[in-house]
């Protein structure tokens, strides 16, 4: 059976090129980027939407939200969104679009990270907030513009879910100067930006007498591209809704994703 007709947003970027390399021959039918980009193989966004069954987008939150609005107006195609750093309005736009078209959105398309997410949720459910502080550490290349990373937030949300709370209720504030002692149950974030780091994520459960660390290291962007292409093949033909990579991999019974 032939694969889906895939369009790639941000085709000239690192992830756009990686997605093109990960797709099978004949699957990529359109590539587009910012208006005015110099590449003879590019088309405009509307043409890409008309040609494709699904668009893979690793651009920016603003561009992904605009793409979602356009897809919702047309009622097609499906979307796979790997952009991160959404503000409230951009997030609302994606959620509204998911009422018209099927969308897979994930902070990370790696199989390993999604397994890690499940392990973090299970560990948090079993390690008391009274005894174990949770800290999420992430490191990326110097060019990444948002922090914490979408993956770090995904891991923080998994930890919060394991403890039956929302991340927004327990997320530690910015630490600078005299901050006082750590509050019980806080989930904190540490961020490093430098060089060409592809992606490092760790979740630390720290007690007085032991430290448990669950971690994942990405060595090549190709792993994210392969996951996004797998999501693109999975989402075509699904009913409208907001899905996660956990749905794609069969790790969740609920579909589409509620969060």
Q: Look at residues 57, 63, 62 and name the one whose alpha carbon lies nearest to residue 6.
A: 57
Residue 38's pLDDT band, with cuts at 50, 70 and 90, is low
Joined together, the tokens standing for residue 188 give 């904190």
Helix axes 14-22, 222-235, angle to 10 degrees: 60
Q: Using CA atoms, how far apart are residues 232 and 151, in angstroms rounded to an integer? A: 19
Identify the CATH number of the domain defined by range 111-218: 3.30.360.10
Cα 36–chain centre separation? 27
CB 122 within 8 A of CB 168: no
Cite the active site residues: 140, 144
Domains of the chain, by residue range, sit at 6-105+221-248, 111-218
Residues 119-146: pLDDT tens digits?
A: 999 999 999 999 999 999 999 999 998 8
pTM of the model: 0.75
Q: Is the per-residue pLDDT at 247 higher than 60?
A: yes
- CATH T-level assignment (fold) for domain 6-105+221-248: Rossmann fold (3.40.50)
């Amino acid at each position: 059976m032939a694969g889906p007709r895939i369009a790639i947003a941000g085709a000239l970027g690192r992830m756009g090129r990686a997605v093109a390399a990960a797709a099978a021959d004949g699957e990529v039918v359109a590539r587009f980027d910012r208006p005015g980009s110099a590449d003879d193989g590019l088309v405009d966004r509307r043409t890409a939407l008309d040609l494709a069954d699904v668009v893979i987008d690793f651009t920016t939150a603003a561009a992904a939200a605009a793409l979602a609005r356009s897809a919702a107006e047309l009622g097609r195609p499906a979307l796979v969104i790997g952009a991160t750093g959404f503000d409230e309005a951009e997030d609302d736009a994606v959620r509204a679009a998911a009422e018209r078209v099927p969308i897979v959105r994930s902070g990370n398309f790696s199989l390993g990270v999604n397994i890690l997410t499940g392990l973090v949720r299970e560990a948090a459910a079993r390690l008391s907030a009274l005894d174990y502080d949770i800290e999420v550490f992430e490191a990326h290349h110097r060019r990444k513009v948002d922090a914490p990373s979408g993956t770090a937030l995904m891991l923080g949300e998994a930890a919060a879910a394991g403890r039956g709370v929302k991340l927004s209720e327990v997320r530690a504030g910015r630490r600078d100067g005299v901050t006082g002692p750590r509050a019980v149950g806080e989930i904190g974030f540490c961020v490093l930006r430098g060089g060409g780091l592809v992606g490092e994520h760790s979740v630390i459960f720290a007690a007085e007498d032991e430290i448990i660390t669950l971690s994942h290291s990405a060595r090549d962007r190709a792993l994210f591209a392969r996951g996004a292409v797998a999501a693109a093949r999975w989402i075509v033909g699904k009913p409208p809704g907001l899905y996660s990579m956990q749905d794609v991999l069969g790790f969740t019974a609920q579909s589409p994703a509620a969060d």
